Chain A
Amino acid sequence: MTALLVLEKVGKRFGGLQAVKDLSFEVREGEILGLIGPNGAGKSTLFNLINGVFAPDTGRITFVGTDITGEKPYRVARHGLARTHQIVQPLTNMTVLENCTVGACFGKDNLPLHRARAAARDAVAVTGLQDRAEARASQLTIAGKKRLELARALAAQPKLLMLDEVLAGLNPTEVEHMIGVIRRIRERGVTILMIEHLMQAIMSLSDRIVVLNFGQKLAEGVPAEVAQHPQVIEAYLGNPKLAAELQGSSA
């Protein structure tokens, strides 16, 4: 399997806080790579570094063989890299379909408006938002807004989709549905890098897992390996509930 995204010794400091440090790993074509770690571990910051919201202080980020370190977000999007936000960022006064059309228009293929609408419709259907297509984004429930984040990113026809806690705040039925959607997206050949706190879900969805703690990589491997990793268990022991989940989900 070829590497789609390669991070080499990436680092980012906020004032006195080293949010990400010397981080290296790769995302391989076609896989779902899970990114886990305690609160404040630097997971969302890493997404911001990859898609250009912040430039890393050190290191290099390569996407499909192109160096994208420090590129502006809109340029990163053109390379075929789309993401969702942990805190949803809908274009509130636009409809669901219009939100997705923006994604499709300015995404990887830089589509003209009419073709973007078709791509947007498709993304709306895949995420199960058909009934809400003409609703304004502001009228959606939180679960709806989470789906919209996903639909909009998907409409960009990305090679790599980065999901930042799309399951957080959903009830069990909604989680179930969302997991189905993520599986379907993967079947279409989209590579996925996802951050998730819901252990059971991430352990069953991911092909491989990277564990982050204090901005550094603690472990990397298939889910069963990672769950048995002594340092990972120790990191999560600060949160006994999560540690128990970690154990439970690999068993």
Chain B
Amino acid sequence: MLLMLRRPFFWIIALAVVAFALAPVVGNDVSMRESLLLDALYITLASNLNLMLGYAGYVNFGSIVFFGLGGYICVWLVNSYNWPLIPSLIVAGLGVSGLALIFGFGILRLRGAFFALATIGVIEAVQAFVENFTPWGGSAGVYLSGEIFKPLGGPAHALWIIYFMMVAVMGLSLYLSFAIKTSKFGLGLLAIGQNEDAAAILGVPTSRYKALVYSVSAFLPAIAGGLYFFKSAFIQPSDAFDLSLSTEALVVGMLGGEGTVTGVAIGAFLYEELRGYLLTSSTFANFQLVVSGALLLLIVLFFPGGLMGFIYSRFPRTQKVLE
């Protein structure tokens, strides 16, 4: 772990996190903060999905379930039991990770398209369960009272604290991706992603590793979900388990370069900025999905390695620095 400190990439991540934290503070720019909060959220979701998709080679359409369930657990603990935010977030993260571990051993027996389909099934099943689960408000959802922001110094102050926490979660996601990529666990995952049967014959404990990475990839998205829905003070199933957000996280990974830490982060950032622009522009507001669809097609056709694949091939030396 200490060895990571000697890697330039460690400091590049630190720099990005500091830049995120300071940028809106400098001009006390609230609208910039809101836009960067969504960027940080997208980077968190895409980086953790990348552990499954880019490292282990498993297409998970259900990554948003981690985000949504984390949101529900956190909101429920805050609302029904008056828990403070931080313990609620931690329990949400651990709870969702634990569920993913149990689930992972089951559905990760499936491969390729079968696994991808099963993950869509997971979204549907969890959403159906929550819609019928009265303690979580069923399909109407849960509203939080304005009181919840009091311990954080009132709404205005709370929004800043939540923003810094989201940036911290983003930073942890990037470090997690980096640490796994440079570890033995990561090497085993990459081997699984290349050729699972060969990996097993070389001694990689494939079932255990797959379930483990599925579970690990659930932890920070669940915390991000908790933060996001605490901030909204409202959660309902259709927002929490939105398949299109899952799909966008996949697109972002391919856009930036599956399996790279930098590419996925930059991809998520650019995608979210572009989406923000399209949504607010009067010309494109209704074409947001058309544009992202076209973008995906272009990448798949012309830049199969994504943004990072392109940069690596143009400037091979960057491979030594940018993970």
Contact = CB atoms under 8 A, between A and B. Distances in A.
Interface in A79-131: 82-83, 85, 89-94, 98, 101-103, 105-107, 110, 112-113, 116
A106 B190 CA distance: 13
Contacts of A133: none
A145 to B, nearest CB: 12
A158 to B, nearest CB: 10
Contacts of A77: 201-203
A89 B200 contact: no
A107 B206 CA distance: 14
Q: Bin chain A's interface residue count.
A: 20 to 34
Interface in B94-142: none
Contacts of A110: 203
A102 B195 contact: no
A73 B184 contact: no
14 contacts: A72-B200, A74-B200, A77-B201, A78-B203, A83-B201, A89-B197, A91-B191, A93-B194, A94-B190, A102-B191, A102-B199, A102-B202, A106-B188, A152-B202
A105 B199 CA distance: 11
A41 interface: no
A86 to B, nearest CB: 13
A203 interface: no
A74 B204 contact: yes
Contacts of B205: 74, 106
A116 B204 CA distance: 14
Given A53-B201, A78-B203, A107-B202, A112 B195 contact: no
A94 B204 CA distance: 15
Interface in A143-183: 152, 156
A92 B195 contact: yes
A216 interface: no
A156 B192 CA distance: 17
Most central of A72, A90, A91 by chain B CB within 10 Å: A91
A102 B201 contact: no
A85 B197 CA distance: 11
A113 B183 contact: yes
B187 interface: yes
A138 to B, nearest CB: 10
B281 to A, nearest CB: 38
Interface in B201-228: 201-206
B191 A73 contact: no
B198 to A, nearest CB: 4
A51 interface: yes
Interface string B297-320: 000000000000000000000000
**Interface-centre pick from A82, A85, A102 (highest chain B CB count, 10 A):** A102
Contacts of A156: 202-203
6 pairs of A and B residues whose beta carbons are closest in the complex: A106-B203, A77-B203, A91-B194, A89-B198, A73-B200, A102-B191
Interface in B264-317: none
Given A74-B206, A91-B190, A101-B187, 15 more contacts: A53-B201, A72-B200, A73-B200, A74-B201, A74-B205, A91-B191, A91-B199, A94-B194, A98-B190, A102-B188, A102-B191, A102-B204, A106-B202, A106-B204, A113-B183
A103 B204 CA distance: 9
Contacts of A102: 187-188, 191, 199, 202, 204
A103 B194 contact: no
Nearest to B186: A113
Contacts of A93: 194
Contact of B198 (A78, A85, A101, A113): A85
Contacts of A105: 184, 187-188, 203
A107 B191 contact: no
B187 A73 contact: no
B195 A51 contact: no
A113 B187 contact: yes
Nearest to A155: B202
A6 to B, nearest CB: 21
A70 to B, nearest CB: 15
A89 B194 CA distance: 10
A103 B202 contact: yes
A82 B199 CA distance: 12
Interface in A48-84: 51, 53, 72-74, 77-78, 82-83
A106 to B, nearest CB: 3
Contacts of B202: 74, 77, 82, 102-103, 106-107, 152, 156
Interface string B166-205: 0000000000000000011001101100110111111111
